[in-house]
Structure 1
Amino acid sequence: MASQETAGHKYVYDFAEGNKELKDLLGGKGANLAEMTNLGLPVPPGFTITTEACQAYLATGAEPAGLGEQIASHLAALEAGMGKRLGDPHDPLLVSVRSGAKFSMPGMMETVLNVGLNDESVHGLARQASGINSGGGTNSASGTDSADAAGADRFAWDSYRRLIQMFGKTVCNVPGEEFEHALDAAKRAKGTANDLDLDGTDLRALVEAYKKIFAKHTGRDFPQEPREQLDLAIRAVFESWNAERAVLYRRQERIPADLGTAVNVVAMVFGNLGPDSGTGVAFTRDPASGAQGIYGDYLANAQGEDVVAGIRNTVPLQELEQLDKRSYDELLGIMARLEEHYLDLCDIEFTIERGKLWMLQTRVGKRTAAAAFVIAGQLVDEGLIDLDEALHRVNGAQLAQLMFPRFKLDHEFQPVAKGIGASPGAAFGKVVFTSARAVELAAEGEQVILVRRETNPDDLNGMIAAQGILTSRGGKTSHAAVVARGMGKTCVSGADELDIDVPGRMFTVAGQIVREGDTVSIDGTTGKVYLGEVPVMPSEVVQYFEGNLDPAETDDVLVKAVHRIMGHADAKRRLAVRTNADTGTDAARARRFGAEGIGLCRTEHMFLGDRRELVERLILARTEEERETALAALLPLQRADFVEIFREMDGLPVTVRLIDPPLHEFLPPLEQLAVNVAVAQERGEDVAKEEALLAAVRRMHESNPMLGLRGVRLGLVIPGLFAMQVRAIVEAAVECAQQGGTPKPEIMVPLVGAVQELETVRAEAEKIIAEVTRGCGVEVLIGTMIEVPRAALTAGQIAEAAQFFSFGTNDLTQMGWGFSRDDVEGAFFWRYLELGIFGISPFESIDRDGVGRLVRIAAEEGRAARPELKLGVCGEHGGDPESVHFFHEVGLDYVSCSPFRVPVARLEAGRAAIETAGSDSR
C-alpha cells in the first residue's frame, strides 16, 4: 500500500495515520476520528479520503488518478482487520460514508449508512444479528430462539430500507418524501404510528416498495454491487459540498467555498439491534448555558441520524445509567478524557451495539453565546487555559447576541407549551410552517417564527430568515437545535404539546388553534411558548454595561464571565474605541458602554425637527444680510448641542463633522412641492413663499446628490456655514472649560478630495479658533474624513494640512465600488451573494482587497508625511468584528461605532491584539 501511494499523490489515510491537527486535509470529523483512535478509544475502524481528492473531483468532474486504487487498498486492509468482506452474502462488512469538512456544517452535506447491503447480504446480516454463523449452525455461546430470529430479521430489513432511502435521496436525487409516504402507508396498514412496530415481514415489503420508487425515478434497479454503492456514495458526498443548502450555510457562517469536504468510510456499528443497543449525542457541558454536568440525548434501538433528525423524541442522557450502567460509566470516563485532551466543550456522537460502546465522532462543540463566555471562564478557573485563550474563544458576534433583549413577563402572559430551550433568546413573530413562506414574509419586512415538527437541512433558508425556530420534536441535539445555536437564532425544540398540521397551516395547543400569520413568542432559555407578542426588557449583559449590575455582587455567572473577559480585552487592546453619537443622551450611554470619546458627531442631525425652517431660510437667503440672520439663529442652537455633548464626554476627544449631506435633504421633495404649488395656484392662494422655495429646490436638484454639492463643497459654496459651525463648537468648548471641564474638540472636514479644499477651510477655522479661545487653554484639532478615493491616493499631500484622518468607510465603499448602498442592497446584492461575487456585503464588513487597500495606502502615506498623524475610522465598519481586526493590522489608533456596538469593538480589539501577538511569536 505504501509503495503504491508514494508513486502518486496520497488521497486516503487510515484513521491511525492522522491526528486532530490535520483538519485542512482530513476534515474535522476525520481528524478527530484519527485523534480518538490514537488515544486508544473505541472507534470503529475506517479510513478518510482527503479534501484534496474532493477539490480535484469538483475541479474536473472525475476522481483524481490513483484514488480508486487507494480506496481499494484501504478497503482490503479494513476487510482483513474485520475478518469480513464488504457486502459478503454470508458475513457482510457494511460501512457508512460520511462527509466531514474542516469546519462543522451540521446536516448540510450527505451521509449514507449501511453501504454493502443488497438482496443477498441482507440475509447474512440477519444471521449475524441472530447469532447464527455463516455455516448455518447455532452459536452456542449466545443461543437463539424464534424471538431473536424475528428481531434479527426485522433489524436486517430495516437496515436495508434505510440504505435504499438514504442512497436514493442522496446519490440519485430521488424525492425523499416518496420514501416517507411509503413508510407512512406501511405504518397505517399496520395500524401504528411507531416505526418500531413494523416487523421483518412489513419491512421486507417496504424494501420492495422503496426499490420500485428508486427504479421509477432513476430508470435502473437499485445497485447490488457493493463497490459500486461505495464509489457512488463517495462521489455524492463530494458533490454535496456544492449543494444549495451547503453553499447557503457556508455563506451564513463565512466558511471559504474552496475547502472541499473529506469523506470518512467507517465500519458500521448498529444501535438498532434491540433494547440493549442505541445511539446518542453527548456534551461535556451544557451547550446552551455552559453549566457543568451531564448533557445529551439517547435513543434506544435507533441508528445513525435518528437522534439529530428528531424523528422520535429522545430521553435525557442520564437515563442511560438505568438502561446500561456499564456503557454509561465508560462514556462518562471518555467524555472527561476528551474534554481534558481538547481543553474545551466536546460534542460526542456514540452508538451502543449490544452493550458495546463505540465512539463515532467528537468535535469542539457548537455553543450559544452565553455558554461560550461561561465555559471560557470556567476553563480559566480550572487551570486548563489562560485568559488570552479565553478571549480568543469568544467573539464580538456572540457578545452582540448577549445584548439582545429578553422577555418581560407578567400575569397577562402564561405559557401554552414548554419544550426544550435549545438556543437562548427572546423571539416573536408571525407563525409560518414552511421555509419558503418564512423567506417570503421576511423579504416583506415581517418577523416570523418557523414552526415545524422537526427541521431538516432543506429548511436552512427559512431558519436564516426567521427570528426563531419552534419544533414539536427533537431535543438539544436535534437538527433545529444544533443549527440554531450555530447561527445565534432562538430555538425551542421538542414542544410536544403542539399538534402541528403543516398542510392545514395551523397548530393546536392547549385547546386553541394557532393559524399561519398569528403571532407567537418563544423563549429559547426556558423553552416556553406564548401566544401573542410578549414585551421585552434589557438583557442582564446590557444592564451590566449600563452600570446597573455589579459583577462583584451579582450571582449571575454570565455577567461575571463577561466582566472578566472584557477586562482582559481592555488590558490587551491597542485600538481605542470611540462612538458615533449626535446627542448628549447617546454620548452618555456610549461612555457607560466603555467609549473613549466620540469619533463621529454628525451635525446635520442637529438641523432636523423644528430647526428645519431655519435651514430653509438659509437656503432661500438672497442677500448676505438674510444669510447672516439665518446663521445667527442657528449658532446658539448648535452651541447648546455641543455644550451638552462636551459635558458628557468631558476629558475625552469629540470629533465633530461639519455638515455633510446635500442641502436638498432638508427641503421638500421637488415633485411634491411642485404639485402643492400648482394646486395652490389653481385655488388662487398666495404662493409667493412656496414659489421661492420651489425655485430654490429646482436650483439645487441633482441627479446624483451623494456625488454632488455636499460636504466641504457646501462649506466653500455657502459663505459662513462652516464658520458658524466652527464658532459654535469652539464657543461650547470654551464655555465648558470655563466651568471647570476639559473639552477636547476635534473639527472634521468631510468629503475632501484635494488638499487645497482642506487648506481653505482650515485657514478660516484657525482664525475663528484664535479669536474665541484667546489663550484659554482649549486645544482644537483640525482634520478630515478620508471618504473619497482620491483623498486616499493623495493622503501624503492632505496630511500636511490635517492633524488627523478619520476613514468614512461607508462613502469610501460607495465610491470605491461605484454604487449607492441605498439603491443596490435591495436591487442586486442578493444575486451577488448567491453567485459568490460577495461573500458578505462590503457595507457590512470591510472589503480588504479594494477599499481596505485604499485605507492602508492612506494610513501609510499619511503617517510618512506626518508621523504624529492620528488615524481612526468612523464608518459603521468600526463596529464589525472582522473589520476591527483589519483596522488593528493597518495600525489605526481608534475605531468608532454606534453606542451598542462599543462593547463589541472593545472585545474584538482585544482579540486582534492577542492574535497579532500570537502570530508574531510564531
Structure 2
Amino acid sequence: MPTRNLNLMDYSEITSSAPIALHSHGWRAKCLQRLVRLELPVPKTVALSFAAVRAIAAGSIPDLGTMVGRFDAGQLLSVRPSAENPDWGGPGAILNIGMNDARHAEIAALHGEAVATALYLGFVQSYAQHVARLDPDMFSEVEPSAAALRAALRDYESEMEDPFPQDPKRQLAEVLRSMARAWEGTSARLLRQARGAPAEAGLGLVVQAMAAGYGSETSGTGVIQFIDATTGTPQITGRYAARGQGRDEVSDNPRAIYLTRDKRGPSLEEQHPEAFAQLIRHGAICRERLREEMQIEFTVVDGALWVLDALKVQHSSRSAIRTAVSLANDGVITRKEALLRVSPLTLAELLHRQVDPRGKRDVLVRGIAASPGAATGRLVFTSQAAQASASRGESCILARRETSPEDIRGMHAASGVLTERGGMTSHAAVIGRGLGLPCIVGATGVRIDLKAKQMHTGRVLLSEGDLVTIDGTTGELLKGTVDLLDAAQDESFTTLLEWADNLRDIDVRANADTPTDARIARGFNAGGIGLCRTEHMFFEDDRLTVMREMIFADTAQDRAAALARLLPMQRSDFIELFSIMQGLPVCIRLFDPPLHEFLPHTREGMGKLADALDLPLSEVTRRSEDLAEFNPMLGLRGVRLGVTVPEIYEMQARAIFEATIETADRGEKVVPEIMIPLVSAKREVELVKARIDAIAASVRVEKGTEFEYRLGVMVETPRAALRAAEIAQHSDFMSFGTNDLTQMTYGLSRDDAGKFMSYYVQAGVYPEDPFHVLDTDGVGELLLIAAERGRSVRKDLTLSICGEHGGSPESIAFCRNAGFDYVSCSAYRVPVARLAAAQLTIGDKDKAKAMPDLR
C-alpha cells in the first residue's frame, strides 16, 4: 500500500491549550500537558495520537521535517510510549535519537570524548536491539570506549549491510515505526490483554527534547517521590546520578546519590539546594493540582531543573489507603473519592501479615489463593502434629490432601494451611477464611505422602519439619523464611471504613461459629452474625465424645440423655455469643452435617472410640458402616436430621431459648434468629417449626419469662428457591447458602471442581469460577425467583446471602439491587464488604440497571 505523510493534526506540540486527551493520546501525553499547565519546567514535547501511531504501523511516514523543526537544531530526542493506562505497558523508551558522528564530535568538544562516546555507544546498542531487532548478545552493554564504539558501528553495518543511519530524521522515523509495530504485534496484544487492556487499545507516543544531564558535574538525572510506596508514610525517596540519563541510570548506577542529607554519603539537597527546593515545591503542586502522590523524573542541567515526566506512585495496599485518607483529610479530594480510590479486595491484605514485596521469592508450589495472609513455619502433615507444634510454641504449616471437620483443631493450631485438592469453597478454604488463616488449595503438581511424611512438588522434595512460608494472597508456597509485613489496621484503615459505613445502604454481617469468631466479627464492626454453624461447636474433645455417644444411642431416650449433657455447653456458647454481639442480631443455623463426619475414619480411631464407649470394635465398625453414604452431601443431613432425629434440634432450640432468657436477665435483650438448613419442601419447615414452637412454649412456662425469636430457612436447594412462596408462609427470613446452591445448581462438587475449573474458565465455558464469583445468570436467577415469590406472600420477609460469595463486591452489587437486606461473609471479609457496599452507594451501579428492585 502506498505511504502518505501524516497530517499535522495527527501530532501536536504539548502546550497548555493543545488538543491532548487521555483517550486519544494516552496517559503520559496528558500528564505532561498537566505539568505544562502547572508551569513546571518541561522540555519541549510533541505528542502523537493513537491514530497517528496506527497509521505509522500501517506504513505511513510522519512529516518529520515539520516535527523535527519544532526542536532546536541538533537537539537530541527521546521517544516514550503513552498508552491510555500506564499498567498496560508498551515498548521501552529510546533515548538520544539524533546521535551521529557529527553530534559525537560536537559533544566531545563541549564535554569530553568519554561523555560523547558513552552517549553514542548507548544509542547504537539501543537502536540495534530495539529498532533494527539485531541479536542482543552482539550489542550487549560493554565499558564505553572508542574501540567499543567502532566495534558496535562495524557490527551494525555488517549485520544490516548498511552503515548506521546518520540522518536524525531517518533515525526518528525508524524508532517511531518500530515502536508502533511492536505495539500491534501478537505477543504485545496478548501481554496487554493479560494486564486488563482491551484488544484494540491504542498507543500514543511522545517525542521529547533530551535535557543534557550528561554535561558538566553540575548536571545529572534523578527520580523523586514524597511518600514511601510500601507504607504511605510521608518520606522523600529516590536517587540522583550525576552526568546520567534516564531511570535505568538512576537505579543501576552505583554512583547514584541520595536526595536528602544523609550520613551515608552526598545528597542532591547539598549539591543542588535550589533545584532540590524546586522539586519539593513541584511535588506539593502536583499533589494538590493533580490530586495524587506523584513520582517525578527530573534532570539538572548546569544547576537548572527540568521535569521530564511524572506518574502516579505505585502503591501497596497500605500505602493506597493511607494516601487516599490523607488526601481527603487535606481537602485535596472528597471522602467519596477517597473511598472509590481503594479497591475493596486490597483491604483483605491489610488484615493479615503479608510477604514484603521488596524481598526475593523462591516459589516451591503454586495453587489457588483461598485465604489471604502470610506465615512462616515448619511443615507438618497431620492435625496431631500441628497441635503438638502449637503446644511447643512453634509455628507450623499444615499440609493435607484435603481437610475435613476432623482437622478443625489442627487448623486452629497451624499458622497456615495447604491442600493438594479443593477449590474456593472447599472445607479448607471456607474455614481458613473464617479463621483468618493463610490458605492455599488445589496446589498444582503437589503429591503428599503421609506415610513418609513428605511432599513432592515436582521440583523439590519437602519433609516434615522443613521451614516454608505460605502466601495465601498469591497462592504460593515459598522456600524458607522471608520478610513479612505486619497487619495494618491503623488509623487510616479505621477512618476509611467509618466513612464507608456512613454511606452504605445494605447491612453487612459475619459468619461466626464460636465466641472467638464473634469477637473478631465485632472488632470489624459487623452488623451482627448472619450464620453461626453450630456443628463446629461439637468438635472439642469433651463434646465430641458425648456427640459420638448420641450417635451410637439405640433409642430416642438414650439420644436425648446424651444430648442433655451437651445442652449446658451449647447454652454457654450462645450466652457468650449474645454477650459479645451486644444486642446485634445473631442467626443460628441448626445442626447441618451428616453424622458420619463426627466419627473416626481409621482403624486406630475406631479402636479408641470402642474403648471410650465400652463397645466391641465390631459394633463400632458396623455402626460406622451403616452411617456411611455414597453421597453424604446429598444424604441424611440438615433439615432431614431435624425431621428423623428431632432430639438434636430440640436440644439446640432449648439451649438458644435458655441463653436468650439468661442474657435478658443481664440487661441485654436478644431476639435470636433460628435457621433451618437445607430445606426443599414446605412440610419440612412445618414439622421443625412445630417442634421448635413447642420447645419455646415449654421454656416460657418453665422459666416464667417471655421472649421473642425469629424462625427462618437457609435456601440451598434449587427446589427451595422455586417453592419459596410456600416456604415463606412459615418463615420470617430466607438466607441463601450460595455455596451449596451453586453446587446443586451446577451439579459440581465444590471440593473437587478446583481440579479442572481453571481449564473451564480458560476455555470460556464459565466466565469465572462460580464458587468464587456468584453466577448471576444461573444461580442469580434462582435467587431472584425466590426473592420475588417469597415476598409476594410475605412483604416483610428478610432476605440475605450467607455463603462465601457474601464478601465479594460483585455479589453485594447483585444483592443490593435485588432488594436484599444484608450480606454475611467470613469475619475477615467484613471490611471488604463494608467498603464495596459504600462504593456501590456512591455510584457503581452498572449491574443494578439490568435487575429488578424487589424492595
Smaller-chain TM-score bracket: 0.7 to 0.9
Distance 2:802 2:323 in 1: 33
- Superposition deviation, residue 160 in structure 1: 1.5
| Preserved CA contact (<8 Å) 2:547 2:562 | yes
Secondary structure at 1:637's aligned position in 2?
helix
Could you tell me how far apart the structure 1 residues matched to 2:848 and 2:646 are? 52
Matched-pair contact (CA < 8 Å) for 2:556–2:647: no
CA distance in 2, matches of 1:77, 1:70: 18
Counterpart pick for 2:694 among 767, 790, 793: 767
Structure 1 segment 646-661 matched on structure 2, within 5 A: 646-661=578-593
- 1:554 aligns to what? none
Deviation of 1:537 after TM superposition, in Å, equals: 11
Amino acid at match of 1:707: L
* Aligned residue identity for 1:158: G
- Counterpart Cα distance in 2 of 1:911 and 1:124: 59
Aligned to 1:126: 104
Q: Please say if 1:35 is aligned against 2:40.
A: no
Could you tell me which of 795, 799, 809 is aligned with 1:871? 799
Is structure 2 residue 113 aligned with structure 1 residue 201?
Answer: no
CA distance in 2, matches of 1:760, 1:607: 25
Is residue 582 from structure 1 mapped to residue 565 from structure 2 by the alignment?
no
Question: 1:730-760 CA deviation, whole Å, 9 max, x = no partner?
Answer: 2322333344331221011112233343333
1:778 and 2:707 are equivalent in the alignment: yes
Partner of residue 627 from structure 2, selected from 700, 723, 743: 700
Whether the aligned pair in 2 keeps the contact of 1:599 and 1:896 (CA below 8 Å) is: yes
Q: Residue type of the partner of 1:79?
A: V
Query: What is the CA-CA distance between 1:364 and the residue it aligns to?
Result: 3.1
> Mapping of 1:354-753 within 5 angstroms?
357-405=305-353, 539=487, 541=489, 558-559=490-491, 561-608=492-539, 609-669=541-601, 672-673=602-603, 689-753=616-680
Deviates more, 1:121-130 or 1:331-340: 121-130
Write out aligned runs for 1:257-276 (5 A): 258=199, 260=201, 262-267=203-208, 269=210, 273-274=214-215, 275-276=217-218
Change (3 A) 1:440 1:294: same
Please, which of 742, 755, 777 is the counterpart of residue 813 of structure 1? Answer: 742
1:753-777 residue CA offsets vs partner (Å, 9 max, x unmatched)? 3334333322332232233235833
TM-score (norm 1): 0.68
Cα distance in 2 for partners of 1:696, 1:236 equals 70
2:290 is aligned with 1:342: yes
Aligned to 1:803: 732
Equivalents in 1 of 2:13, 2:696: separation in Å?
A: 75
* Equivalent position of 2:47 in the other structure: 47
CA RMSD between the two structures: 4.8
1:513-547 CA-to-partner distances (Å, cap 9, x unmatched) read xxxx988999xxxxxxxx99699997573xxxxxx
How far apart, in 1, do the equivalents of 2:498 and 2:523 lie? 14
- 1:901 pairs with one of 814, 818, 829: 829
* Contact in 1 for aligned 2:211/2:306 (Cα 8 Å): no
- Paired AA for residue 905 in structure 1: A
**Do the aligned partners of residues 289 and 674 (structure 1) sit closer, same or farther apart at CA in structure 2, a change above 3 Å counting?**
closer
- Percent identity over the alignment is 34
Which ranges in structure 1 are unaligned for 5 or more consecutive residues? 55-62, 85-90, 131-143, 188-197, 406-424, 450-466, 468-488, 490-516, 523-530, 542-557
Q: Which runs of 5+ in 2 are unaligned?
A: 261-266, 378-415, 417-437, 439-465, 472-478, 850-855
- Matches of 1:211 and 1:45 in 2, distance apart? 31
Deviation at residue 439 of structure 1 after TM alignment:
5.6
Alignment of 1:9-24 (within 5 A): 15=14, 22-24=21-23
Q: What residue number does 1:791 align with?
A: 720
Give the Cα separation in 1 of the matches to 2:639 and 2:5. Answer: 67
Q: Which letter does structure 2 place at the counterpart of 1:148?
A: G
1:62-211 equivalence runs, <5 A: 72-73=61-62, 77-82=66-71, 91=74, 94-98=77-81, 100-102=83-85, 104=87, 109-114=90-95, 122-127=100-105, 129-130=107-108, 144=109, 148-167=112-131, 178=137, 182-183=140-141, 186-187=142-143, 198-206=144-152
For residues 816-855 of structure 1, the aligned pairs below 5 Å read 816-825=745-754, 827-831=755-759, 841-855=769-783
Q: Which sits farther off after the overlay, 590-599 or 369-378? A: 369-378
In the alignment, is the contact (CA less than 8 A) between 2:11 and 2:47 conserved in 1? yes
After superposition, the Cα gap between the structure-2 partners of 1:440 and 1:374, relative to the gap in structure 1 and judged at 3 Å, is closer
Deviation at 1:897, TM superposition (A): 2.8
Is 1:280 the counterpart of 2:222 in the alignment? yes
Q: Is the 8 A contact 1:799 1:865 kept in 2?
A: yes
Instruction: Determine the C-alpha separation between the residues in 2 that align with 1:759 and 1:797.
Output: 11
Deviation at 1:343, TM superposition (A): 1.8
**Partner in structure 1 of residue 790 of structure 2:** 862
SS at 1:822's partner residue?
coil
Residues of 2 paired with 1:20 and 1:606: CA distance?
A: 66
Query: Is 1:910 aligned with 2:838?
Result: yes
d(CA) in 1 for partners of 2:480 and 2:6? 66
Shift of 1:778: 1.5
Q: Residues 282 and 675 (structure 1 numbering): CA distance in 2 closer, same or farther, change over 3 Å? A: closer
1:26/1:597 CA distance change after superposition, 3 Å? same
TM-score, with structure 2 as normaliser? 0.73
The amino acid of 1:29's aligned partner reads R
SS of the residue corresponding to residue 87 of structure 2 reads coil
Following superposition, the deviation at residue 28 of structure 1 comes to 2.9
Q: Name 1:306's counterpart in structure 2.
A: 248
Mapped contact 2:774–2:811 kept (Cα < 8 A):
yes
| Structure-2 residue corresponding to 1:235 | 181
Moved more, 792-801 or 747-756: 792-801
Q: Residue by residue, what CA displacement relative to the aligned partner does 1:863-914 show, whole Å, maximum 9, x if unpaired?
A: 3442212222222333345544544444332232333333443343333333
Distance apart, 1:109 and its partner CA: 4.4
Question: CA separation of 1:262/1:756 partners in 2, compared to 1, >3 Å: closer, same or farther?
Answer: farther
CA–CA distance in 2 between the matches of 1:844 and 1:718?
34
Contact 2:728 2:794 in 1 (8 A): yes
Task: Tell me: CA distance 1:300–1:847, structure 2 relative to 1, closer, same or farther (3 Å).
Answer: farther
Residues 101 and 262, structure 1, Cα contact 8 Å, conserved in 2: yes
Change (3 A) 1:14 1:823: farther
The C-alpha deviation readout for 1:486-535, integer Å capped at 9, x for no partner, is xxx9xxxxxxxxxxxxxxxxxxxxxxxxxxx988999xxxxxxxx99699
Distance 1:305 1:293, change over 3 A: closer
Letter in 2 for 1:82: F
8 Å contact from structure 1 (residues 807, 872) kept in 2: yes
In structure 2, do the counterparts of structure 1 residues 636 and 439 end up closer, same or farther at CA, with 3 Å as the change threshold? closer
Give the aligned length: 733
* Contact 1:238-1:263 at 8 Å conserved across structures: no
Output the CA distance in 2 between the equivalents of 1:74 and 1:887.
56
CA gap of 1:313–1:673, structure 2 versus 1, over 3 A, is farther
Distance 2:767 2:14 in 1: 34
Q: 1:45 Cα shift? A: 1.9
Q: What SS does the corresponding residue of 2:126 show, helix, strand or coil?
A: helix
* Structure 1, 832-841 or 305-314: larger mean CA deviation: 832-841
* 8 Å contact kept, 1:111–1:237: no
Work out whether residues 109 and 243 of structure 1, in 8 Å CA contact, stay in contact via their aligned partners in 2: no
